[in-house]
Amino acid sequence: MPPESNCILQRNNVKISGKGEKTVMLAHGFGCNQNLWRFILPYLEETYQVVLFDYVGCGNSDFSAYQKDRYEHLEGYALDIIEICDALNLKDIIFVGHSVSCTIGWIVATQRSELFSHLIAVCPSPCFLNIGTEYQGGFDKQDLEQLMQLMNKDYIGWGNYLAPIVMGTDLSPIGPGKDKNEVLVHELLNSFCSTDVTYSRPFARATFFSDYRNILPEIGHPCLILQSSEDSLVAICVGEYTQRHLQNAELKIIEAKGHCLHMTRPMDVFKHMNAFLGKN
């Protein structure tokens, strides 16, 4: 493997596991890291080669490789995926994205369509903003600006506010008798707050203030959208909008709270993935 390929794999903390001729790439969402896929990973490894990674500025990536101009836009994170695929000589893979990584995957699909065969989107949103009466992404711009101000002034407070919304459960103390989701919200909070705000702030702005609805009709890959029935970040109407505007997509609603189905309902995600890939 050329030295530059090794550098990319180290830069993005790439991990490869599993067996099988077909490759699945798992891409984490904002404020997260590859470890949050661990609940579904063992099931995928039985059939597929699985590629995990951290975006530069997240998880255990090489933070010295961070470039401010590149990672102020989602295209910079899309380039991480393209470079990883090229370094590993991957094409025709199954791309599984969570949240903003769904959009990042769509960007890659429009730039390098040969890299993917199928797209699986877990709680996607092409735009988190409310735009007139035509589209309700979930948030008014001024509310998101206030959230960014909180991030700048009180990073821990911002994490304490956002983590319960994302996970769909209260941030109560960990102790005996707590269910899985009540424990996972603390893990998500730790993931949010362990990343230096220097890297998480631009990613947050790129995530919540961007609008990529225009690229949806360009994507012809078979796509599965997995939507939570009670997601405070992404309403079902957003999933329905996304399904209508992609060329070849199906939408499945999973009865669950929160925005992290791969953590709270991994077997449901795996079941729907298998059914979708079996048909396609």
Over the stretch 135-179, which tens digit does the pLDDT of each residue have? 999 999 999 999 999 988 888 888 888 888 888 776 555 444 455
Q: Is 139 exposed, middle or buried (0-12, 13-18, 19+ CB in 10 A)?
A: middle
Long-range contact pairs involving 180-189 (C-beta distance under 8 Å, separation at least 24): 180/264, 181/257, 181/258, 181/264, 184/260, 184/263, 184/264, 187/36, 188/31, 188/32, 188/36, 188/163, 188/260, 189/159, 189/160, 189/163
Mean pLDDT over each residue of the chain, to the nearest integer: 91
In which element (H, E) is residue 116 found?
strand 116-122
Cβ atoms of 27 and 97 closer than 8 Å: yes
pLDDT digits (tens, 9 = 90+) for 208-259: 999 999 999 999 999 999 999 999 999 999 999 999 999 999 999 999 998 9
The domain tally of the chain equals: 1
1 forms beta bridges with none
CATH number of the domain encompassing residue 142: 3.40.50.1820
- What integer pLDDT is reported at residue 165 of this predicted model? 81
In which element (H, E) is residue 26 found?
strand 23-27
Catalytic residue among 231, 262, 268, 272: 231
Residue 109's nearest CA partner among 252, 253, 277, 246 is 246
- What integer pLDDT is reported at residue 180 of this predicted model? 57
Catalytic residue among 28, 80, 99, 101: 99
Count how many Cα atoms sit within 13 Å of the Cα of residue 38 in the half-sphere of its side chain. Answer: 6
Contacts with 231 (C-beta within 8 Å, 6 or more apart), sequence order = 123, 168, 257, 258, 259
Is 99 tagged catalytic? yes
Cβ atoms of 53 and 83 closer than 8 Å: no
- What integer pLDDT is reported at residue 161 of this predicted model? 82
Is 28 tagged catalytic? no
- What integer pLDDT is reported at residue 134 of this predicted model? 87
Both tokens of residue 232? Answer: 């405070």
Q: What gap in Å lies between CA 189 and CA 43, rounded to an integer?
A: 26
- What integer pLDDT is reported at residue 193 of this predicted model? 66
Is 69 tagged catalytic? no
Place of tokens 């699986």: 120
Catalytic residue among 28, 98, 259, 272: 259
- The model scores a pTM over 0.95: no
The boundaries of the domain holding residue 259 are: 3-279
- What integer pLDDT is reported at residue 84 of this predicted model? 98
